[in-house]
Structure 1
Amino acid sequence: MKIKFILAIFIITWLTLIVRVFFLAVESNTYYENLSHSNTIKSEKIAPVRGEIVDRNNRPVAINELGFKIQLRPHLRLKKNIKIFNEEIDNIVKLLPNLNRERLIADYIKKDSYYNHNYIDIVHFISNEDIMPVYSVLSLRENVNIVPAPKRYYPYGDIGSHTIGYVSRANKKDIKDDKLLELIGYTGKTGIENYYNTYLQGEAGEREIKVNANNQEIEELSYVGANEDRKLTLSIDIEFQKYVSSLFDKKAGAVIVMGVDGAILAASSFPEYDLNTFVSGISHEVWNKLSKSLDKPFTNKLVNGLYPPGSTIKTGLGLLYITTDIDKTWTVDCRSSMPLGKRVFRCWKKDGHRITGIKKAIRESCDDFFYKGSLQVGIKKMSEGLMRYGLGKKTGVDLPNEFIGVVPSRDWKRKRYNRPWFIGETVNTSIGQGDFLVTPMQIAQFTALMATSKLPTPHFAKSIGTKPYQPLVQEVLTEEELKKLPLIQQAMYEVCNYPKGTATQYLSSKVSIAGKTGTAQVVTILQDIEDRVLEHEMSYYNRSHAWFTSYGPYKNPQYVVLAMVEHGGHGGAAAGEIVSKIYNKLLELKYIK
């Protein structure tokens, strides 16, 4: 029995040894082959070059400037290598004295770790002109690596800054959302650069190389190039946009010049700022100056500026009035004020407009007509109709983070404040005041609807690569609205051409245009004040915002031109000259035929 037991142990031991030898010799072969492969074959990602952005005439508005970045070998801050590290830093600063030594060290420390075996960027960009005199000296140092690194450059500086946007270094959140940014280092932060970032940045390439034990390259095994240089062509004319910007001088606000199909020829938010200051990092001094400005230069007022629309929405409301509960022949006797409850709602004209119908109400911007009309129609039809016309929702323009604004209604107020609706709020809404808020882009789209009966999607892209941009155009008017729209259009023509039109005296356009002025209050006028203070007598930031939105030519609408001047006072007075000169330039450049 003992012999059998010993024999069994002997057999089990040998079987165990045989199984283990088989596993090591055969089954583990694949594992160790892969391990050996990873020790000798290295995969490198190839950063794509960001695509350029050009205007409709192929003028570059965002390009890549040729330059280089300087890298240092990792692990040089270990105790045994610290002397080498300091020597390399001192040498770089000596050859390139404009560099900051402490900044170089700080950037190195951020990336240096036991797990990082790649060279570390310490100079993210240096121009071709600056590196060439010292290139041969630096490239001979075994711990230093110099590699090509393009940098974004904006040839037109501050022109169209909010539209074009800028790129800057990717932060941790950016990299978490898009791993490619860890390789590229930069991402679109605002404007078109941000909206089309995925397309513009392209896709990484990859190369496989054989390396020795010292991580030195021996042979290239495979190469797949990056998918890069993706071109984006815009509908804007950057030289025309430069002209438009010059008209605004030092005013704050926004200008939009848009084809009635939605293609934007020029659009600016003011004040503008130089895009190039953000590519490498803006100084604290410049940042503080811009961020503390009361004119809010960082706000893209085209889509993120929310303003009361004032009388600009009277065209759409007038169309709703005469296609719902009011006949087109309905009139009011405007005596300059309308008592309602404990309040008195005033018309802007001190002596009143007297007998006023729909055309006169739009032409001369009679508030009393719209006050009394709102009491006939009611807030439900007003708000639903205005939202159908494109207000209170995104226009769909190709800019990031577009705001939706507010078209007040009972449901909106209940959800927002959990409070009941008052009839006085209906009256306020009828002249674009109260809680009513819009963006300039929404009013431009709304004006295109009044001009053509169609609601276009505003857009900056003309073609993405070789593929033309296909915008959406919506049919939103009812048959009755289509039938009576010409009456509204005629009233808009009279705004700009009739002797008592609110814009007529301020225009010098060679193009026959139609439009609507708007004066949007930013401070409340107290009930016990009988004589209103004139706009020019108010302190600047208490003055009303001035709107003037238009289309032309009147009989063959081709372009919408909108100007909104913050704290400009009366719409026609503040913006009439700007709009006139824009139409004249459109005619001169043969955009208007």
Structure 2
Amino acid sequence: MRMRLVVAFIFLFFVLLLSRIYYLSIKSNIYYEEMAKQNAIKTRFLPPTRGLIKDSKGKLLADNDLGFSIAIKPYLNIKKQNQGLLDEELFVLSQTFPDLNVTLLKRNYIKEDSYYNQDFIDIVDFIPYGEMIPHFSQLNLRENLQITPIVKRRYPYGKLASHIIGYIGKANLQDMNENEIAKLTNYTGKSGIERYYNEILQGQKGVREVKVDAHNKEIEEISFQKTSSNDISLTIDIQLQSFLSELFADNAGVAIIMEANTGAILAAGSFPEYDLNPFVTGISVQDWKELSNSPDHPFTNKMVNGLYPPGSIIKMGTALAFLNSRSINTATEFYCAGLIELGGRNFRCWNRSGHGDMNLKHAIAQSCDVYFYEGGLKVGIDQISSTLGKIGFGSKTGVDLPNEFVGTVPSKEWKMQRYKQPWYQGETLNTSIGQGNFLVTPIQVAKYTAQIAVGKNVNPHFLKEIEGELDENTRKEYQIQDKEEDELFNVFEKSQLPALREAMLAVTKQEGGTAYRFFKDLPLSVAGKTGTAQVVGFSQAEKRNIREKDLKYYSRSHTWLTSFAPYKKPQYVVSVLLEHGGRSISSGELTAAIYRKMLAMGYFNEN
């Protein structure tokens, strides 16, 4: 019995041994062959060149400068046999390019040099093509240096349209974790179109497979898949954009010029603007502080991130709410004595003497506040806030710029949710004339004006065309989608829009209209609405950055003028906000000058 057990054990042992030998020699052969193949084949992902950004006529708004990066072989600092080689290479570079900071380059190299790093270490991000070419052959012969062709983003127009175009900057760790292209290029879109369309502009990576020997030296190229890039064209006309920038001069604010029917934006600016180019490689601390501390907020894209009370430009929307209630029609009159008393408080009209009897047309043309106070009390805040929300206030327009704000349309529900307080009738009066807690963005105002002009939903946008090989899903994702007309205005509301447009025409073309003096001699039928937005106050941080002598200016109200033309067949919307009423020009003068320029450029085919 014992002998049988011993024999059985020996037999089992040999079976297991033979099984293991079979596995190692045959079954594992495929695995180790694959491992050997991976050791012999090196895969390198190639960074794509970022796509170009063009204006509507093909002029370059963002392109790429050709240059070279410089990297140094690893282990020159940590291996004794390489002692002195790092300093030698840095000395050669300093003699070739005297502007390089050798101390900083050495510090950055040492930080990355380790036994775990087998790749060349980047130390110089960009040397312009013209500076490198005279020295390229000589430097390329040095085995410890690696000279690689590279491109750097360039913005030919500097600060022009800066808030639209945006800029790219160094990718952070989160960018690299979320985006493999950013990991390859070390750059990503940070603001504006560069950020919104980053997925398209960054292009697609290339792949190169090569066979290497034991010393990591390339022997043979096995496969190569080239990179690809996508360009985009915008709707803006850089010539008109340039005029807009010159016209604003030292004034702060926003201007938007948009096709009324399509929402295509021809020119738009958030002023003051700033030069985009320094942000590509990194702006200096001093310049950053100067821009950040400016009370005119040049970094803020006021088109989509500026929140302002709409003031009287909202009165067409409020009037539509009145008409929707069916308790007020276009002929209904309210008497304006210059103020209305409510709860022991006087709510005044801007005309302290009063306007007398006012119907809808005259109330909009002369911007009578009392008419809207009386109408607001009669109709109530529920009807007003509902109509204003329906036509786009308190929600995003969908414009293709990042981080669009929604603003605030005050209502009973909004106040209770935010402040846990009941609604008061005095707040209805303030909301009716666009004051109080009512906040809008300039892009919302442009959209609102276009919708009144053409009677349908309008989608503001900057994208004209994507040029490149995109998959169908990505192309559809960024395609501007038109919405059906009936999604915005019902049949009754559409029937009331002509009365609102006629009232807006009276603002500019009827004596007594609040913008009559600016447009009376303009050979174009412009319909518009003026407004004033009160400045509530400053934060302590803002107050520290304002000189005492400038406090009076920064306390002045902002002024609006939103408009469309021609009156009978609307083609374009022009919406202007001048912060603090403007330093050197009024919103009326600025708007009239824009229309004159557009006439001279041939934008209008009829009056």
CA contact (8 A) 1:125 1:151 kept: yes
Determine the structure 1 residue equivalent to 2:94: 93
User: 1:222 is paired with a residue of what secondary structure?
Assistant: strand
CA apart distance, 1:250: 0.7
Determine the structure 2 residue equivalent to 1:530: none
**Stretch moving more, 275-284 or 409-418:** 409-418
Paired residues in the alignment total 580
Alignment of 1:542-553 (within 5 A): 542-553=555-566
CA RMSD in angstroms comes to 1.9
Determine the structure 1 residue equivalent to 2:171: 170
User: Counterpart of 2:231 in structure 1: which amino acid?
Assistant: K
CA apart distance, 1:169: 0.8
Alignment of 1:24-173 (within 5 A): 24-80=24-80, 81-173=82-174
Q: Take 1:430 and 1:13, find their aligned partners in 2: how far apart are those partners?
A: 94
**Stretch moving more, 17-26 or 445-454:** 17-26
Determine the structure 1 residue equivalent to 2:379: 377
Alignment of 1:288-437 (within 5 A): 288-324=289-325, 325-437=327-439
Structure 2 residue 475 is matched with structure 1 residue 472: no
CA apart distance, 1:77: 2.5
CA apart distance, 1:109: 4.0
Determine the structure 2 residue equivalent to 1:200: 201
Structure 2 residue 288 is matched with structure 1 residue 287: yes
Q: Take 1:356 and 1:566, find their aligned partners in 2: how far apart are those partners?
A: 30
> In the TM superposition, what whole-angstrom CA distance separates every residue of 1:64-101 from its partner, at most 9, and x where no partner exists?
11111111222333142342222222222221111112
User: 2:437 is paired with a residue of what secondary structure?
Assistant: coil
User: 1:539 is paired with a residue of what secondary structure?
Assistant: helix
Counterpart of 2:502 (choices 479, 490, 505) is 490
Q: Take 2:583 and 2:206, find their aligned partners in 1: how far apart are those partners?
A: 57
CA apart distance, 1:328: 1.8
Q: Take 2:492 and 2:528, find their aligned partners in 1: how far apart are those partners?
A: 22
User: Counterpart of 1:65 in structure 2: which amino acid?
Assistant: D
User: Counterpart of 1:115 in structure 2: which amino acid?
Assistant: Y
Structure 1: segments with no counterpart, 5+ residues: 525-535
Alignment of 1:436-451 (within 5 A): 436-451=438-453
Q: Take 1:568 and 1:172, find their aligned partners in 2: how far apart are those partners?
A: 43
Q: Take 1:326 and 1:569, find their aligned partners in 2: how far apart are those partners?
A: 37
User: 1:302 is paired with a residue of what secondary structure?
Assistant: helix
CA apart distance, 1:523: 3.6
Alignment of 1:513-592 (within 5 A): 513-523=526-536, 539-568=552-581, 574-592=586-604
> In the TM superposition, what whole-angstrom CA distance separates every residue of 1:379-428 from its partner, at most 9, and x where no partner exists?
11101101111111000101011000001001111111222111111110
Q: Take 1:221 and 1:523, find their aligned partners in 2: how far apart are those partners?
A: 68
Distance 1:112 1:591, change over 3 A: farther
CA contact (8 A) 1:51 1:63 kept: yes
**Stretch moving more, 561-570 or 105-114:** 105-114
> In the TM superposition, what whole-angstrom CA distance separates every residue of 1:289-338 from its partner, at most 9, and x where no partner exists?
00010111000000000000000100111122123121221111111111
Distance 1:455 1:348, change over 3 A: same
CA contact (8 A) 2:251 2:583 kept: no
**Stretch moving more, 157-166 or 6-15:** 6-15
CA apart distance, 1:216: 0.7
Determine the structure 2 residue equivalent to 1:532: none
Q: Take 2:576 and 2:291, find their aligned partners in 1: how far apart are those partners?
A: 23
Q: Take 2:132 and 2:515, find their aligned partners in 1: how far apart are those partners?
A: 58
**Stretch moving more, 20-29 or 110-119:** 110-119
Q: Take 2:296 and 2:578, find their aligned partners in 1: how far apart are those partners?
A: 11
CA apart distance, 1:474: 4.5
Q: Take 1:474 and 1:400, find their aligned partners in 2: how far apart are those partners?
A: 25
User: 1:368 is paired with a residue of what secondary structure?
Assistant: helix
CA contact (8 A) 2:90 2:102 kept: yes
| Percent identical residues | 47
Determine the structure 2 residue equivalent to 1:250: 250
Distance 1:85 1:303, change over 3 A: same
User: 2:277 is paired with a residue of what secondary structure?
Assistant: helix
Determine the structure 2 residue equivalent to 1:463: 465
Distance 1:347 1:227, change over 3 A: same
User: 2:281 is paired with a residue of what secondary structure?
Assistant: coil
CA contact (8 A) 1:163 1:399 kept: yes
CA apart distance, 1:251: 0.6
Q: Take 1:239 and 1:176, find their aligned partners in 2: how far apart are those partners?
A: 40
Q: Take 2:550 and 2:465, find their aligned partners in 1: how far apart are those partners?
A: 48
Q: Take 1:82 and 1:296, find their aligned partners in 2: how far apart are those partners?
A: 52
CA contact (8 A) 1:167 1:188 kept: yes
CA contact (8 A) 2:181 2:202 kept: no
CA apart distance, 1:173: 1.4
User: Counterpart of 1:247 in structure 2: which amino acid?
Assistant: L
Distance 1:89 1:569, change over 3 A: closer
CA contact (8 A) 2:166 2:192 kept: yes
User: 1:551 is paired with a residue of what secondary structure?
Assistant: strand
Distance 1:114 1:179, change over 3 A: farther
User: Counterpart of 1:317 in structure 2: which amino acid?
Assistant: T
> In the TM superposition, what whole-angstrom CA distance separates every residue of 1:168-197 from its partner, at most 9, and x where no partner exists?
110111112112211011111000010000
**Stretch moving more, 256-265 or 482-491:** 482-491
CA apart distance, 1:38: 1.5
Structure 2: segments with no counterpart, 5+ residues: 469-474, 538-548
CA contact (8 A) 1:72 1:121 kept: yes
CA apart distance, 1:3: 4.4
TM-score (norm: length of structure 2): 0.92
Distance 1:66 1:514, change over 3 A: same
Q: Take 1:537 and 1:501, find their aligned partners in 2: how far apart are those partners?
A: 32
Q: Take 1:561 and 1:306, find their aligned partners in 2: how far apart are those partners?
A: 18
Determine the structure 1 residue equivalent to 2:544: none
CA apart distance, 1:34: 1.5
TM-score (norm: length of structure 1): 0.94
